[in-house]
Amino acid sequence: MTASTRLAPGGEAELLDLGGLRRHLPVSLERLYENLLDWQRLPHVHAGDVQAVRCRSWGAWGWQADIADRHGRWALVALELDRGRRRWSARWRSGPRAGWRMDGEAEPAPAGAPGLTVTVRCLLPSRSGRGADRIGRVWAAWLTGFSALDEAMMVDRQRQLDRRIDRARDAERHLDLGPVADLRLPCTVTLAGREFVVARVADALCAFPARCPHQLGPLQAGALADGQVVCPWHGDRFDVATGENLSGRPCVLSHLPEVRVDADGRVRVSATH
Ligand code: FES
């Protein structure tokens, strides 16, 4: 971060350039664009900053949404993505930061190395120029924390996609989890090459995928209550006994394994796909 109070180049004399934050991201452009366009993650992955989002429009070009910050103050924010130039821009159209802008640019890592180098600049109306160095430092610290959460999400999603491709075809389809009295629930098991969570719902045992059918979010880390699990990435709610998506999105938890307690008191899980 090189905070400065110079005027922004490129004819935007009314904007003050706080400087750029440059960092390496171990992800592909595809994951980065997916993340930039993913307004739905904001109140979940960034719950500490964003209370609620109401999207007005979205598409491959970007999105426009009303966003409530953690204090409940609303702002209209528009994000536009320019894939041809690997650039994007987020603009605050109203609210406490009206007139602020964040511009981003991605460059492939040099000489075939994996990942991207991403630079994000913050520009704000020049009337806010007083204390710009301090604002720049606060902004850089905020963006570093915000980006770290997005990076973890992108890396995790890529890892899951890679694992699906590499999945062993002859993986175990039946598991013996041992005596029911010794079982600590919920627990995660690998069955037929996929991870499942085994849990107790009411008085019955059930198993559901550890990864969300939407974008492979970590359902094993989701809140589980009243027979429902909530995905930490976009907040979809699933009935773990039936697999139904109770949030209205068409994706459901499919191929739920069979879980049974046999006459010998041992819990056995079998794949159904
Ligand atoms: S990954 Fe989007 S709701 Fe789970």
Predicted local distance difference test score (pLDDT) of residue 272? 86
CA of 160 to the centre of ligand 1 (A): 13
Q: To test ligand 1's pocket by mutation, which of 35, 233, 246 has the most ligand atoms within 8 angstroms of CB?
A: 233
Q: Is the pLDDT of residue 9 over 50?
A: no
Which one is predicted more confidently, 44 or 17? 44
Q: What percent of the chain lies above the pLDDT cut of 90?
A: 71
Q: To test ligand 1's pocket by mutation, which of 236, 244, 245, 252 has the most ligand atoms within 8 angstroms of CB?
A: 236
75: which strand partners?
A: 67
Predicted local distance difference test score (pLDDT) of residue 170? 57
138 is written with which tokens? 């606060």
Banded model confidence at residue 254, pLDDT cuts 50, 70, 90: confident
Q: What is the mean pLDDT of residues 140-168?
A: 86
221-249 pLDDT, tens digit each: 999 999 999 999 999 999 999 999 999 98
Which one is predicted more confidently, 52 or 169? 52
Q: Which residues line ligand 1 (CB under 6 A)?
A: 212, 214-215, 217, 231, 233-234, 236
Banded model confidence at residue 128, pLDDT cuts 50, 70, 90: low
Predicted TM-score (pTM) of the model is: 0.82
Q: To test ligand 1's pocket by mutation, which of 34, 160, 214 has the most ligand atoms within 8 angstroms of CB?
A: 214
Banded model confidence at residue 160, pLDDT cuts 50, 70, 90: confident
For each of the domains in the chain, give its residue range(s) and CATH number, in order of start: 15-165 (3.30.530.20), 174-270 (2.102.10.10)
Question: Which atom of ligand 1 is nearest to 251's Cα?
Answer: 3
At 95, give phi and psi (nearest 5°).
90, -175
Banded model confidence at residue 165, pLDDT cuts 50, 70, 90: low
In this structure, is the dihedral angle defined by the CA atoms of residues 52, 122, 81 and 79, taken in order, positive or negative?
A: positive
CA dist 273 and 269 (Å) reads 13
Q: What is the mean pLDDT of residues 89-100?
A: 95
Q: At what angle do helices 29-37 and 132-166 cross, to 10 degrees?
A: 120
168-218 pLDDT, tens digit each: 555 789 999 999 999 999 999 999 888 999 999 988 999 999 999 999 999
For tokens 């528009």, name the residue.
78
